[in-house]
Amino acid sequence: MLHAQASERELIDQFLAALRSLPEVQAELERVGSPELDAQLALDVAGKPIHALVELRKAVYPRDVRQLVWRIRDLARQQPAGESGIEPLAILVAESISPGAKELLRAERVGYYDSGGSLYLPARGAYLYVDRPPPKSLSRAMRSLFTGRRAQVLHGLLVRHQDWFGVKDLAEQTLVSSATASQVLTEMERFDWLESRGQGPSKQRHLREPAALLDAWAKQLSSLRPPTLRRYFVPAMKPDGLMERLGQVCEAHSVDYAVSFEAAAQRYAPFLSAVSQVRCRLLAGSGGDAAIADLGARVVSEGANLAVIEAKSAGDLLFRERVGGVWLASPVQVYLDLLRGEGRAKEMAEHLRRERIGF
């Protein structure tokens, strides 16, 4: 139940307004704030009367659904049937409900409404379904999970999805603080994507649903700022030769780098007959500038055969792999980069996911 009474009533009023805005729907509040029930509604949908029991929550994630469904259905069974003899309809109303939680509620045929305007009422003889974007509060929380150091933790979980991690181990492998690793794991548990074993300091987690996490990350890409590319032209160099030469000058200047996008995907899982450009992340600093200068690269606005993303820290190069003498970004990073690409990049991304990532 929501903590502030004012917020509870505002959410109920918003729900009622959403119902009343639909054609042939009438909705009245019968009761609010009893010890057993947060609210009871009398609905009429196209002439069909419906008695609804409402459970209020602040935010709902997949791990919350099972207990909530059990509770609200138990309350519905305890209520006397209406004139039609039909059991009351159970509805979960919350400020935010994650997409995964909505799927589970629909599978259980439990109604819901969130402050973003999404609505699902599976009543007998009357079915309502309105799907809207998630409320801003949930969208902001999701975006923050897939950026910065939190994204490094997710990257580690995906790359090593078969392993079990303690907080300290995960923090060390993803170059973040233990507090950041712990926060991300807590969020992942809310989505029911993790499996746990042990208790206290020895507790370990394992990513049970890597595909769900990678899908969620892919969906967030459109809301995240794309990396800035510096475009260069290196004369007399084909992409394969350019990759090899890039590796040589970076090693000569002790600069960390990782090739990504099409050039890396082609090394991991060949798909295209030819690649026209090499894109890489290069650790910022004077060494990187010297390496670019050694290549004989010149800045261009079009016709580039080399594009560089400035890596601000070693965390941007996590889990790179050395293939054929060249450092490539991890397959997971390459996949996410390709989803932002042009032309056949998205097809190449799906090929890479199927052939190399495997989930």
Answer for the pair 183, 150: CB distance below 8 angstroms, yes or no. yes
Determine, yes or no, domain membership for 140.
no
Which residue, 3, 1, 30, 4, is CA-closest to 16? 30
pLDDT of residue 339: 95
pLDDT digits (tens, 9 = 90+) for 4-33: 444 778 888 999 999 999 888 899 988 776
Task: Give bridge partners of residue 231 from the DSSP assignment.
Answer: 307
Least confident interval from 29-33, 43-47, 158-162, 277-281: 29-33
Range of the domain at 337: 229-357
Per the listing, tokens 């490539």 go with 328
Q: Count Cβ atoms below 10 Å from residue 35 Cβ, excluding itself.
A: 4
Q: How far apart are CA 277 and CA 310, in angstroms?
A: 17
Please say if the pLDDT value at position 99 is more than 50. yes
Phi, psi of 239 (to 5 degrees): -50, -45
Choose one of 204, 223, 242: the last residue of a domain. Answer: 223
Q: How far apart are CA 347 and CA 349, in angstroms?
A: 5
- Shared-domain flag, residues 285 and 254: yes
Q: How far apart are CA 9 and CA 38, in angstroms?
A: 10
Q: Who contacts 199 (Cβ-Cβ below 8 Å, separation ≥6)?
A: none
Per the listing, tokens 């059990």 go with 70
The dihedral sign for the CA sequence 159, 162, 163, 165: positive
Find the CATH number of the domain harbouring 203. 1.10.10.10
Find the CATH number of the domain harbouring 117. 3.40.1350.10
Q: What is the pTM of this model?
A: 0.77
Determine, yes or no, domain membership for 252.
yes
Determine, yes or no, domain membership for 11.
yes
Determine, yes or no, domain membership for 20.
yes
Tokens of 46: 């196209």
pLDDT of residue 78: 73
Q: Exposed (0-12), middle (13-18) or buried (19+): which is 23, by Cβ within 10 Å?
A: exposed
Which residue, 2, 51, 55, 6, is CA-closest to 27? 51
Q: What is the DSSP letter of 303?
A: S
Choose one of 181, 198, 223: the last residue of a domain. Answer: 223
pLDDT of residue 172: 96
Res. 290 pLDDT band, cuts 50 70 90: very high
- Shared-domain flag, residues 66 and 89: yes
How many separate domains does the chain show?
Answer: 3
